[in-house]
Amino acid sequence: MSESRLPDDISRWPSDPYRLLDVPRSIDERELKRAYLKLVRQYKPEQAPEAFQKIRHAYETIQRWLNQGARWYQDDDSDSSDESGTDEIEVSDDHATTGPKISTLSGREAMVEAYTQLANEFEANPRSRDTHLKLYWLLVAIPDLDANRKPIDWLYLALAAKNGSCAASYELVRRAVEADPSLAFGELPKTLLGPSIDPSFISVFVELRWRAARILGFGNVIRADIHQLRDRSHRELEEQWPSLLLLAIRQYVWIEKTDQLSETRGLMREIEGWGVDRKSINDALYEIDVLIDRADEAKALSNAGDLGIMLSRLLPKLSDPSSDRAEQILRPFFDRLSNDLTAGLRFLDRLVQYQPSVFVLLIGVVDSIYSGAPLRDAEAILRPLRAFIKGTNWNSYNDVRFALLRFCVQEGIEPNDVGTLVSRPQWFSQNIIEQIAPHISNDHALRYAYRIWVVSRTAIS
């Protein structure tokens, strides 16, 4: 394995655990541990705690996949006390497989045989309880067992065979697609829109698929799916159809290649023709208008430097700003903004002035995470605050706000709390009260630059 060439910026480290540890997907337990220890020697926990956590998480993820893959095909009755040193694998016959048991093969040869046997079993009975899951985990552990399939293919095949009624398989599909949106497309995923699939499952799956289409800019996929499903809309999908059309509109507005206006108007007319009440239509139209403004503002951010480019790429992934995933999606942006407080505050100033809809979305996510500043005694804050104001050369509030942000970060004080203290005549002169206090309370960019800095220093729960 080659020497680690991970970027200095941890936010740019690969999310794929194999790439992060620089190991092949056919890695075994011993080599995995060796690669892990090699990296840990470079990124010691006491010197680089965040880097260490990422390395540890990657190691534990691959280790878990290896263990889960083994458990799927090892015989539950195997003697765990056997210390002969042989690595024999036995595939259990719990589900009346027609192939022979594997009891004398070892290592990769056994895995190939196990995979072939399970694939034959699945072909004979695609509705079996968990054969597809065994195949999935085997292929996750050793991807080159099958050059013609990805692990997720077995999940799609099982979902199609069971008409969508397989919660465990869908959960694995959801996780895989969220990690790699391209996995939502191809011939196998498309079969899950077929006439035999349960309508309630279709509603769930297209939401996942269309969000992936939004991230990748595949407006044509959404359009084709609607066309395919429209024949069923007056039968099986009658109750879900208006909601599905609204879902499609919400994705369209983020896709730059899509003609937003014509697509939106056409689908809204269809919703109106469905007999939806006028109030619901008006509420939906208002929501879509807000989304269009936000999407247009987000696209314009690509001309606003590195922070703007990063945020413009992350925002389409935010299907629900109030969800737990919102923090994970925006975490790289929070970290980048906090690394340079001056540039970060200037960027938020730009959002307030030119992209207010995006700023409102952003502060909504921050407020859902931010737990507030610790309570401090006013007298303990006064001394450093007086020293700061006295030692700062300023003629107006604009001269002091960047230094004020650094002061708040250094002292761990909310800008709003500074504004409250500065407004008290028993502690500060009338000149300071008039020129600073009212501006701080109205400086939303300053307040959220501080809160984003706090959030970026807080571990994801």
CB 256 within 8 A of CB 247: no
pLDDT of residue 187: 92
Among 236, 265, 299, the domain boundary falls at 299
Residue burial 76-113, b: 16+ Cβ < 10 Å; e: rest = eeeeeeeeeeeebbbbeeeeebebeebeebeeeebbbb
Is residue 162 domain-resident? yes
CB 332 within 8 A of CB 310: yes
Is residue 316 domain-resident? no
Q: Residues 392, 393, 399, 400: what is their CA dihedral angle, to the nearest 10 degrees?
A: 10
Closest by CA position to 252, among listed 316, 191, 326: 316
Q: Do residue 389 and residue 280 come from a single domain? A: no
Is residue 269 domain-resident? yes
Q: Do residue 338 and residue 390 come from a single domain? A: yes
Is residue 415 domain-resident? yes
Type of residue at 457: R
pLDDT of residue 259: 60
Q: Do residue 267 and residue 337 come from a single domain? A: no
Q: Which two tokens stand for residue 403?
A: 């230094």
d(CA 206, CA 184): 9
CB 221 within 8 A of CB 213: yes
Q: Do residue 295 and residue 155 come from a single domain? A: yes
Q: Do residue 363 and residue 278 come from a single domain? A: no
106 has which bridge partners?
88
346: Cβ contacts below 8 Å, ≥ 6 apart: none
Question: What distances in angstroms separate CA 453 from CA 406, 447, 458, 461, one per listed residue?
Answer: 10, 10, 9, 16
Among 73, 88, 122, the domain boundary falls at 73
Closest by CA position to 337, among listed 349, 355, 326: 349
Total-model pTM: 0.56
What percent of the chain has a predicted confidence (pLDDT) above 70? 81
Q: Do residue 154 and residue 288 come from a single domain? A: yes
Is residue 112 domain-resident? no
Count of alpha carbons within 13 angstroms of residue 98, beta-carbon side: 7
Among 51, 73, 95, the domain boundary falls at 73
Is residue 288 domain-resident? yes
Span 55-69, pLDDT tens digits:
888 888 787 766 654
d(CA 211, CA 221): 11
The CATH number given to whatever domain includes residue 24 is 1.10.287.110
87: Cβ contacts below 8 Å, ≥ 6 apart: 106, 107
Q: Is the pLDDT of residue 197 over 80?
A: yes
- Residue 429, classified by CB atoms within 10 Å of its CB into exposed (0-12), middle (13-18) or buried (19+), is exposed
**Domain with 395 in it:** 323-461
Is residue 236 domain-resident? yes
88 has which bridge partners?
106
Span 29-54, pLDDT tens digits:
888 888 888 888 888 776 787 888 88
d(CA 442, CA 416): 9
Question: What distances in angstroms separate CA 385 from CA 341, 395, 402, 423, one per listed residue?
Answer: 19, 17, 15, 13
Type of residue at 257: K
Span 224-270, pLDDT tens digits:
998 888 877 666 777 778 888 888 888 877 776 556 567 767 777 77
Is residue 203 domain-resident? yes
How many domains does one find in the chain? 3
Q: Do residue 336 and residue 235 come from a single domain? A: no
CB 442 within 8 A of CB 342: no
Q: Do residue 276 and residue 350 come from a single domain? A: no
Span 430-455, pLDDT tens digits:
877 777 888 888 899 999 999 999 88
Q: Do residue 342 and residue 456 come from a single domain? A: yes
Residue 4 vs residue 263, higher pLDDT: 263
**Lowest model confidence (mean pLDDT) among 128-132, 173-177, 191-195:** 128-132
Task: Over range 110-120, report the average pLDDT.
Answer: 87
pLDDT of residue 375: 62
Q: Do residue 345 and residue 450 come from a single domain? A: yes
Q: Do residue 246 and residue 372 come from a single domain? A: no
Span 335-383, pLDDT tens digits:
999 999 999 999 999 999 888 888 988 888 888 888 776 666 777 788 8
Q: Which two tokens stand for residue 288?
A: 């879509």
Q: Do residue 381 and residue 251 come from a single domain? A: no
